[in-house]
Chain A
Amino acid sequence: MTAQLGVILLFLAFLCAAYAWGASFLGGRREDDRLVESARNAAIMTWPLLTAAALTLISLLVRGEFNTTFVWTVTDRAMPTYLKVTALWGGQAGSLLFWSWLMSTFTAAAMLRNWKRERHLMPYVISAAMGTLTFFIVLVAFWENPFARYWQTLGGDVATAMFGPSAFFTPLGVAWGSLAQKIPGLLGIVAKGMVPLTAPLGATAVFPPDGNGLNPLLRHPGMIIHPPMLYLGFVSFVVPYAFGMAALARGEVSDSWIRATRRWTLVGWLFLSLGLILGGWWAYDVLGWGGYWAWDPVENAAFMPWLTGTAFLHSVMIQEKRGMLRRWNMVLITLTYLQVVLGTFATRSGFVSSVHSFAQSAIGPLFSIFLGGALIVSVSLLIKRWDEMAADNELDSLFSRETFFLINNLLFLCINVAVAVGTYWPVFTELLQGVVPGVQKSSLGEGFFNATTGPMFMALIFLMGVTPLIAWKHASLKRVARAMLWPSVIALAILGAVTAIMGVRGLLPAGRVVVLTLIGYGVALDAGSLTIGEYYRGVRARMVTHGENFFAALGTMVGRNRRRYGGYLIHLGVVIMAIGVIASHVFQKETQQAVSSGQTITMGDYVLEYKNLERFMASDGRAVTRAQAVVYQNGREVAQLSPRIDSYPGGQPMSIPGKYTSFMGDDFYVLLVTWEPLSLSNATFKIYYNPLVNWVWMGGFVFIFGTLVAAWPDFSEERRSVPAKSRRATPLAAAGK
């Protein structure tokens, strides 16, 4: 009975969302408060309904109800309970339900939080959010229903359907099915892809004794946390988009929607960043190719909204301070939203080949239709209000913070374009093949992404260091140069020292690479040093004027300007990550050798001694082949590693690396490649030496911490939000606004 309950909950959630969508839109047009309030209640109602639906699915998963298709697909009896719970997002149908639930949670929260203050925008906020939610619930309820069950037909086939056979509904379903067969093209695929409501007449429920089991690759802690983080990020960006569209629909394109959604944007950005970083960590830890970022289409799909979202976070500051870039910000949030939907779509539909996309299905065309609709609505609203969104101020000078922010924005967008070109290139060329002469289906590899985005990222990191020193409106070159002097001297000194040490030890690469590497390090160190300099200047000023000690000064300074100093912490995190990325890219070494027991492999200062190999069955049913090896650095034993290969019954074996991390954060990363099956005395290892790779994770940690500092709710600010706002404006007024 539980599965039917899930279906009914989904249908109810669909009705609520669709009603809220329509009623809020009508209520907004007719200025009918009662209708709007009823729409709001329906919108909030989706949350308990979807919560109950998700809990129903979790209970089916935990109890091992293999009669349910989704449960059979992603779990088996041997899996521990926590994995059965997280299997909720281990497959397409469950992921979509989870996505919808998060979306509903966020919109309900946004409505409760901003209802009074942004009352005038609310009708259309509900429309935009519920339009999106309705689409996702439709997908879950009618195309990817996780509650569908297995039935055995009289003919002996296995069918899936939501409910058992019914004398009334089954013939209707059969009629619909034969009609769907006749519909040509995309619509036909869509129609044929629907989950039948009722099973064929005479069919009986099937209860498989055990399930299929979760893909072993997804049984890693990184993979348990990584998708929800990305989804949270995706979903929270829907809120600022909904507010933006509401502002356009209402014609209230002032800055209040930006203020209302500032924190939502930061939260979305926090989760998206966290998701991306965790994804890299998972890849490095589990996929066993020695790297963490491969420009895989699915990674890119999450990275692209992050890029426009980051641009948006920066450019809203100009709108807040100077009343400029209103159109630009609207365009950015729309682009972010569309890329969020495109991102989920690209991940789900498998239309770009990727290592981790789910199988192809009918939801591809549905996503295209939705995306097209959202694009048309957004663009027509933008056009309608274009003239009303004129800026209050002109750009005063080329040498001003505004200009630098603008360049920053353009760079983020250009990186986005480059990533999009690279990601969708196979799709473009496949479409144009045969249409435009000379075009042949082709793809662009990692080299393309590195070569195009590398220089732009360097420019961004440079701007990141310099921009905080540049004043709004008009900056003085002399002042900026003076502020840059000492931090840059320190950065250069560090760079010189590191280069000298590496040169002496013979570690510098030859030719063009060395120049590029040094430029990269110079830029990163300078940006880091300038950012620390900003902290230093602020703290010193407080210590002098208020007579506070260092820590008190730091505490008050950051506490009073959390967005600003949190932002600088994020910048510092980026610098640390950049250092790790460059080092692990340029200086990575690898080797692969076969050794027999007691033999060694030498790589730089390190020696790996192979001891022995053992094979055993683990308690969760996987067969483990584990090598024991000892790592020596300069003749001293530093670690014992046990790289292993796990084979789940019926699944593919996977290599789990053994890692030794040095004091500086270098990784000696060892994979067991193959072994001699009988004697177990010979084994082949692949070793990667990844210098400073742990700086990527360390930088990521600083980055996330900085975002938390910036996004943490400031309750005192909210209570007296009006006076606080006017106080913030004074420095500008003083500056001659």
Chain B
Amino acid sequence: MKLKDTTYKAYSGIAKYCRTGDSKHIKDLELRQDRMPHYRRLVFNITKNTLKQAYPITFKLFNNAQWEEVVDDYFKNHNAQEYRIWLMPKEFYEYVVEKKYAKKYNMPFLNDLLLFEWIEIEVHTMEDEIFPKIKKEGDIWNDILILMPEYRLLQLEYPVHIKQTKEITAADKGNYFLFSYRTLENKSVKFMDLSILFAFCIEQIEEGNTLKDIVKQFFTLTNSEFNNEIKEKTESFIKGLIQKEVVLGFK
């Protein structure tokens, strides 16, 4: 069924007005102009409040003008594709990265901060995964370890997960690894700051490699020396993951 041009223009004019607040989009429409700001307010507030809830640290970091500007730009210019409003903030994160607001606001850590905040929502709400069959007994170094599947491993440039944003400077730029998982016990979200070795371990365990091979590969790649201290720390790390039920057991 094709709509008449006038009907389509009415739809589109209302939608554009709600997204921009610019009354030029509705001025030729026969409707109660004085009531339209209610729609603009309702529509804009839904998006604004959803983003404020999703990104509370970013919201506090921005001043009012910055927050209004970025949310207004996003709502005006980005065609939200997600029908579930609770997943829409991911599109906001992608928009902020694409439009380079980190540079504009001189907040080099902004993209990482948004990702850090988003990942908490993603891990908390991600669909339940099927847990693999495992053996409870095995050898940490020589048997293949099995990870619980409800996690995300992120690489960040700035330590937004371990420092207050006001304390982060350009000198902090580096490689940071953040492991986020959903606990089996009560499905809450936990975070762990990882060294590059332990992040590599997680990545390679997922690939189905044994810890012995993973460590060997790491020290070959980095051209560094494996010693007893590192061995003990690695073993302690894996035992900690077993205790936290991040490593479920052995293949």
Partners in one complex: no
User: Which positions in A face B, CB cutoff 8 Å?
Assistant: none
